Amino acid sequence: MILQQLVNGLSLGAVYAVFAVGFTLVFGVLNVLNLSQGAVFMWGAYVGLEAVRTLQLPLPAAMAVAVVAAGILGVVTEWLVFRPLQRRGAHRWMGMVGSLALARILIGAAQEVFGTQVVRYPDSALIDATIVIGAARFQGLQVVAFGVALAMVLALGILLKFTNFGRAIRTVAFDETVARLVGVPVGRVRVVTFFISGALAGGAGGLWSLLFQSVSPFMGDTILLKGLTVLILGGLGNVVGALVGGLLLGLVEVGSIVAVGSGFRDAVGFGLVLLILLTRPTGLFATREAKRA
């Protein structure tokens, strides 16, 4: 049973991690919470689903379409909300409220286009395989999703760590003024960051809807709260922290159902956030972040 719960927790946590990594990346670069991330996640899920249902694309192609579409939506967020606000030097709260308003528009639009009912992928599009190891049962899909999630985060890590563009992103994250001085194209970095962040949200939406067979206009609300939790666990703007924090939250949720009782699951998650903040005021993996917040 413990092995099975480990599988349950990790596959849930992997999706949290992908979502939170995109979330934290924007925070790292812009020092602002983009609260439309949950709605982008939802649109990613719908685009993937429609690509399969109406365009009849094979699953991997549909996922790619979803990721790109969500990335573009991320760029739209930057262009529509954050860029004008930053240009006029608005307070960061404006960005939070503005992105939340955009989320409301996106959710309302999804309701209008897709209806309010929960929908899922057609059976023909799914990999229907169960792998049994000892007492634990994996879905083929779970394994694939976990692999894809890790691959996405790893690719981002490589981009950030080893490419020139990654260095540019990190420079902007460190200090925008410094970045401008050393000739980093700050505007372009921001656009690319939002694209990656949106793409990760869309990828998370695709994985989520495949794993749990559930797509609805309101699916972004829950993950937004989870994402915020992971963001704090991992430290704002910390990509590795978000990855570890996501997996940790998945395990903590499953663990609290096993040990404390399912009625208190979310209280355990948020209680953990409080506890961590009280002992480590800038998250579990705080490094250079103390100055940012």
Partner 1 sequence: MPPARLSRRQAIALSAAVALAPGTSLGQAGAGKVAKIGLVQSTTGGSAALYGTEQKQAIELAFDEINDARTLGDITLRALHADDGADRGQTVNIFQRLIRQDKVVAILGPSLSNSAFAADPLAEQAGIPVVASSNTAPNLTKIGNFIFRTSVPEDQVFPTVLAYAVKKHGVKRVALVYGLDDALTRGAHDVQRKAVQDLGLEPVGIESYQRGDVDFSAQLTKIKAQKPDAIILGALAEEAAAILRQAKQLGFDEKVVFVGCNANISAKLFELAGPAANGILVGAAWFAGYDHPKSKAFVEAYRKRYGSTPDIYAAQGYDAAYLIAEAIRRADTVTDGRAVRDKLAGIQDFEGVLGRFGWSAERDATVTPKVLIGDGQAKVFVAAPAV
Partner 2 sequence: MSEFYYTYENVIDLCLLNAVLAFGCLLLLGVNLLSLATGGLMAVGAYLSIWLTMQERWPFGPALLAATLAGALAAAGLGALVLRLRGDYFAMATLAFTEVVRILALNWDPVTGGALGVFGIPKYTETWQLLLLLALVVYFVWALRRSALGDRMRAIAEDELAVTASGHDVARVKLALFTASGAIAGLGGALAAHLNSFVAPGDFGFLRSMDAVIAPVLGGVWNLLGAAIGAIILTALPEVLRFSAQLREVLIGAVTLLAILFLPTGIASLPRLLVRGRIAQ
Query: Is there a contact between 176 and 82 (Cβ–Cβ < 8 Å)?
Result: no
> Considering the rule CB under 8 A, would residue 260 count as an interface residue with partner 2?
no
> Considering the rule CB under 8 A, would residue 114 count as an interface residue with partner 1?
no
Four-residue CA torsion sign, 245, 247, 249, 255: negative
94 touches, from partner 1, partner 2, none (C-beta below 5 to 8 Å by class): partner 2
Which amino acid, residue 113?
Answer: V
Distance set, CA 35 to CA 32, 109, 114, 223, 224 (Å): 9, 17, 22, 11, 7
- Of 200 and 211, nearer to partner 1 (C-beta) is 211
Strand boundaries in the chain, DSSP class E: 130-133, 136-139
> Considering the rule CB under 8 A, would residue 86 count as an interface residue with partner 1?
no
Segment near partner 1 (CB under 8 A), from 7-15, 52-60, 63-71, 171-179? 7-15
- Given 93, 101, 181, 222, the residue binding partner 1 (CB under 8 A): 222
Count of residues engaged in binding partner 2, rule: CB under 8 A: 47
Q: How far apart are CA 135 and CA 120, in angstroms?
A: 28
Query: Is there a contact between 195 and 72 (Cβ–Cβ < 8 Å)?
Result: yes
Angle between helix 219-234 and 37-53 (nearest 10) = 130
Q: How far apart are CA 104 and CA 98, in angstroms?
A: 10
Count of residues engaged in binding partner 1, rule: CB under 8 A: 36
131: phi then psi, degrees, rounded to nearest 5: -110, 125
> Considering the rule CB under 8 A, would residue 283 count as an interface residue with partner 2?
yes
Do you know the residue count of the chain? Answer: 293
53 touches, from partner 1, partner 2, none (C-beta below 5 to 8 Å by class): none
> Considering the rule CB under 8 A, would residue 99 count as an interface residue with partner 1?
no
- Of 87 and 123, nearer to partner 1 (C-beta) is 123
> Considering the rule CB under 8 A, would residue 13 count as an interface residue with partner 2?
no
Q: How far apart are CA 208 and CA 204, in angstroms?
A: 6
Comparing CA positions, the residue from 281, 290, 229 lying closest to residue 17 is 229
Site residues for partner 1 per CB under 8 A: 1, 4-5, 8-9, 12, 108, 111, 116-120, 123, 130, 132, 137, 139, 208, 211-214, 216, 218-219, 221-222, 253-254, 257-258, 262-263, 265-266
Site residues for partner 2 per CB under 8 A: 27, 33, 80-81, 84-85, 88, 90-91, 93-94, 96-98, 100-109, 111-112, 225, 228-229, 231-232, 236, 263-264, 266-267, 270-271, 273-274, 277-278, 281-283, 292-293
